[in-house]
Amino acid sequence: MSNSQKIGFIGLGIMGAPMAGHLIAAGHELHVNTRSKVPEEIANTTAVKAATPAEVAQNADIIFIMVPDTPDVEKVLFGENGLASGLSKGKIVIDMSSISPIATKEFAKKINALDCEYLDAPVSGGQVGAKNATLSIMVGGSESTFEKIKPLFALLGKNINLVGGNGDGQTAKVANQIIVALNIEAVGEALLFAAKAGADPEKVRQALMGGFASSKILEVHGERMIKRTFDPGFRIELHQKDLNLALSSAKALGVSLPNTATAQELFNSCTAHGGKAWDHSAMVRALEKLANFEIGQKA
């Protein structure tokens, strides 16, 4: 691969903007498109603003997409002046959004029919991971395309895995979001229990960090729960979207996910209290409402 490539990036939100920034910093020629204003951190670089996704596709050989949900990706790909209408043979489309695995397989088929390659490459690690280029990237698609794009993925993340064919990256991401939600719920219950019992939740957290209960969620989100730092992060409404994907896919597959459903109901409660933009660690607030007690309180 040559050092500088013509890359497209569609979606410059709290995740997309820093990711695009890493590609620009590495010396690549970037063509960008986003539905709101191009953020200053990108506008002040060499990035070329494109009016439509089609224009991005015409000017770039490799196009990244980072938008919120399945309908957003569909619109970017196949809407009016969508990416598909600007693609030509041999170009590569990489969707890094977290969307439906079932829809992803359909999108990939349509892009492949244009003689182009498609990777689904959702990420885990949130805004912090995007800024620090430490995202975990779960990829679905052909091995040869994955190997071509791997050096670019390495500019965005650390833990980069080809999981399988198209759709399998998204399936891995849904599985990731199930584990994260249930871990947040477990840490919330544990710290709430400890605080209500009169123990210092921070000291309990430190003690648990050395044992089998240790986790990234206990480390990062446990601290957020104690310090009450619920600015995103990763917004509850986005995690709700991911659990929706889990529950609707599970229904289609005939699989029961009882605790995923419970975690979603706790997120629903947070949203009902005006918390759709809180960090997902604020799920603990729903548990605190049930207990009529906050972790920071004195018992």
Provide the residue count of the chain.
Answer: 299
Least confidently predicted of 126-130, 131-135, 168-172, 261-265: 126-130
- Does the pLDDT value for residue 224 go beyond 90? yes
pLDDT per residue as tens digits for the range 76-115: 999 999 999 999 999 999 999 999 999 999 999 999 999 9
Predicted confidence at residue 203, as pLDDT, reads 98
Sign of the four-CA dihedral 208, 214, 220, 221:
negative
- Does the pLDDT value for residue 74 go beyond 90? yes
Predicted confidence at residue 197, as pLDDT, reads 97
Kindly state the average pLDDT of the residues 60-64.
98
Kindly state the average pLDDT of the residues 179-189.
98
Cβ atoms of 19 and 156 within 8 Å: the answer is yes
- Does the pLDDT value for residue 240 go beyond 70? yes
- Does the pLDDT value for residue 233 go beyond 80? no
Q: Which residue has the higher pLDDT, 42 or 125?
A: 42
Q: Which of 286, 190, 186, 293 is nearest to 240 (CA)?
A: 286
Which positions are annotated as active-site residues? 173
- Does the pLDDT value for residue 29 go beyond 70? yes
Predicted confidence at residue 15, as pLDDT, reads 94
Q: Which residue has the higher pLDDT, 263 or 125?
A: 263
Please provide residue 129's backbone torsions phi and psi, each rounded to the nearest 5 degrees.
-65, -35
Sorting pLDDT into bands at 50, 70 and 90, what band is 1? Answer: very low
Task: Return mean pLDDT, the chain.
Answer: 96
* Side-chain-side CA neighbours of residue 57 (13 Å): 25
Cβ atoms of 146 and 139 within 8 Å: the answer is yes
Q: pLDDT over 90 for what percent of the chain?
A: 94
- Does the pLDDT value for residue 2 go beyond 60? no
Sorting pLDDT into bands at 50, 70 and 90, what band is 299? Answer: low
- Does the pLDDT value for residue 206 go beyond 70? yes
Respond yes or no on whether the N-terminal peptide bond of residue 233 is cis (omega within 30° of 0).
Answer: yes
Please provide residue 233's backbone torsions phi and psi, each rounded to the nearest 5 degrees.
70, -145
Predicted confidence at residue 127, as pLDDT, reads 86
